[in-house]
A and B are shown apart, each in its own frame.
Chain A
């Protein structure tokens, strides 16, 4: 599994298509994105990470860079999102961070 992370609107899905030579249809079939939003409602984060790790590409938006939210639910959601991304990175063969559309390999090698 390749994990692609990066700030909001940084071009993560486009980077996946460029790296793997995929069309938009292939991306929709073989990748899953916005997984940070799945974390909040997950009972078991390691199980969620394990499930996601069977996909070819998992894409997560970095959401932990701002001030700690006042709202407890938002705080918990942000915490879960960060933890999930760490669990995914452990399971990923390749981790790529996209910044302003430019990918950088943080772990492993590109296929």
Chain B
């Protein structure tokens, strides 16, 4: 089963995603980290997330690009964090797939779904702050939005986390009268 968890910065999406992994029961728990720590701020961010995960039995697998090649154990429960970083890496890192970013990431999600018992994917809501974007920022937003929409279409469950509260958009208890 694939679950997509989307939220704004510091909305509590990681913590909720971890709780979904824990509620999947005993299994090898794999955390797929996508942020390449290139400066002191990103090192601090990594430390914060490691503390959050401490004692929850996660093994960390670093995967900055090429998700289809991620070597995840069969039958494991995977937490992938996050699509926003993965999109940026695929688009702009020298090792990235560039124009094929969307296809690479979606193929990677299918690879995880086939290989693992449960897949929880964290993504970012960065689309409500205006529409006056240009150049690389506009490209990035288009790519991440397409990945989000297509991941949501194929996911069994989709949650939006709002100030720590999960709002279900698909596959569970609806917060509103759903379509």
- Please, which residues of chain A bring their CB within 8 A of the CB of B130? 8, 63, 66, 69, 74, 78
B4 touches A100 (CB 8 A): yes
Asked if residues A10 and B145 are in contact (CB atoms below 8 Å), the reply is: yes
Q: B148, A100: Cβ atoms under 8 Å?
A: yes
Judging by beta carbons under 8 Å apart, are B176 and A8 in contact? no
Q: Does B59 contact A (CB under 8 A)?
A: no
B52 contacts partner chain A, Cβ-Cβ < 8 Å: no
Q: Which residues of B contact A62 (CB under 8 A)?
A: 127-128
Please tell me which one of the listed residues B8, B145, B150 contacts residue A8 in the complex, with CB atoms under 8 A apart. B145
Docked pose: A63 CA to B131 CA in angstroms: 7
Across the interface, name the chain B residue whose C-beta is closest to A15: B179
Q: State which of A8, A34, A37, A104 has its C-beta within 8 Å of the C-beta of B179.
A: A104
Q: Are A74 and B145 in contact (CB under 8 A)?
A: no
Q: How far is the CA of A78 from the CA of B129 in the complex (A)?
A: 9
For B150, list chain A residues within 8 Å (CB). 101
**Residue B169 at the chain A interface, CB threshold 8 Å:** yes
Q: Which DSSP category, helix, strand, loop or mixed, fits chain A's interface?
A: loop
Partner of B149, one of A10, A34, A61, A110: A10
Contact in complex: A104, B149 (CB < 8 Å): no
Residues of A within 8 A of B160 (CB): 99-100
Evaluate contact between A8 and B169: CB separation under 8 angstroms: no
* Per-position 1/0 for B151-175, Cβ under 8 A of A: 1110000101000000001100010
Q: Cβ of B6 < 8 Å from any Cβ of A?
A: yes
Chain B binding surface, main DSSP class = mixed
For chain B, the bracket of interface size reads: 20 to 34
Min C-beta distance of A60 to chain B, whole Å: 10
In the assembled complex, the CB of A99 is this many whole angstroms from the nearest CB of chain B, namely 6
Minimal beta-carbon separation of A88 from chain B (angstroms): 17
Q: Is the CB of B127 within 8 A of A7?
A: yes
In the complex, what residues of A have CB within 8 A of residue B51's CB? none
B46 in the interface (beta carbon within 8 A): no
CB distance from A38 to the nearest CB of B (A): 13
- With a 10 A CB-CB cut-off, give which of B6, B128, B153, B178 has the most chain A CB atoms: B128
Which of A10, A78, A96, A110 contacts B127, CB < 8 Å?
A: A10
**B129-A63 in contact (CB<8A):** yes
Which single residue of chain A is at the shortest CB-CB distance from B153?
A101
**A101 CA to B178 CA, complexed, in Å:** 13
Quote the shortest CB–CB distance from B88 to chain A (angstroms).
Answer: 16
Q: Other than the known A7-B127, A11-B149, A101-B149, what 15 A-B pairs have Cβ atoms closer than 8 Å? A: A9-B149, A37-B131, A63-B128, A63-B129, A63-B130, A63-B131, A65-B128, A78-B130, A100-B4, A100-B6, A100-B151, A100-B160, A101-B148, A104-B177, A105-B177
